[in-house]
Structure 1
């Protein structure tokens, strides 16, 4: 229930917030509940990526020289950058980062990952191909 409520507020709200995600191809290939569930999840990502306020980018395995960003990171940002927060999953639990020095590091990291990822159109092509391969 909480997941559906969160998705409604972030993505499906009548006045939604901009939402941008960059996913590595490995995350798109992880099998959690079988082929049909994976296909449905990939197609749902494709469907949501068509929304005007949603940007989906992928980092394919084939991308050369992509290193240093191998951690899960959620960057929550807004109009007042000093209120931004980064959420990271780590072996010892979830960590929230909000100091300006650390935020600057993660802003740069996210911007680098975004710049090196596929365009939204090419990302959709990759996700579509992955769903067809199942």
Structure 2
């Protein structure tokens, strides 16, 4: 079973609160280090999610910041949860591309995912055959065992779209992604049919940005915005590049991502018209 518990989210929430405690106390990292006899680097590691503080460290920080015992104990428990292994961490390091494990942790607890894709079908909507063709084209090539692990990981991620509290998905696909013949007609036809099937889920919205839309925001920059049920945890932007990925959390930057996604969705075909276009492509294939 895919448990919707993410130590990645817990840790991010913890370090955000640690920074908030210090800022409200009007202390610099150097001041905290001096008072507690720590190095500034140690304080920085705790506030940048590079190291998880233990119970003693959280008690010490809460004491000098004047935090109540009730709030302190809440974040001590959060630190314990952050040390738990996420379900995705059972996969080998080769199955999880650089820094992607953090993304899977965030995705596993998100309540809404908004994604703009240009040449690819979003991973959460890919069929196994389509994803296999993508892996075959990737360089350097991977061992069959790694490909199998990645397929299993993707399937477990896709399970988030089902269940009692499914992940809501709003995907805007460029028409290019629908017409790109990944694996040829024998692969693309089932993939397009799968999109039609997924669009029938009430919490899945699929829009197509047609070639006729012309110039539009983020033309060469596919991206994802993750939203969470916990009001204390703000949206996170995510984008991949050839050898890695980037996470965006600064409010102004996330606002820019949201602004661009809204503009792209406005230029895209309405969901019903998008499905009609996909059906047309299926019939043509």
Please, what TM-score do these two structures have when normalized by structure 1?
Answer: 0.89
Q: Does 1:100 align with 2:251?
A: yes
- Alignment coverage as a number of residue pairs: 133
Following superposition of structure 1 onto structure 2, how do residues 8-87 of structure 1 map, counting pairs within 5 Å?
8-9=159-160, 11-79=161-229, 80=231, 83-87=234-238
Q: Deviations over 1:89-132 (max 9, x none)?
A: 22452111111111011010001111111111000011111122
**1:2 & 1:35 partners in 2: Cα distance?**
26
More strand by share: 1
The 3-state SS of whatever aligns with 2:238 is strand
On the 8 A contact 2:217/2:264 being kept in 1, the answer is no
Report the equivalent of 1:3: 154
Gapped regions of structure 2 (runs ≥ 5): 1-151
Q: Given the alignment, which residue of 266, 270, 275 partners 1:115?
A: 266
Deviation at 1:13, TM superposition (A): 2.1
Gapped regions of structure 1 (runs ≥ 5): none
**1:65 & 1:33 partners in 2: Cα distance?**
28
Q: Give the RMSD, CA atoms, in angstroms.
A: 1.7
The 3-state SS of whatever aligns with 1:126 is helix
More helix by share: 2
The 3-state SS of whatever aligns with 1:127 is helix
Please, what TM-score do these two structures have when normalized by structure 2?
Answer: 0.44
Deviation at 1:18, TM superposition (A): 1.6
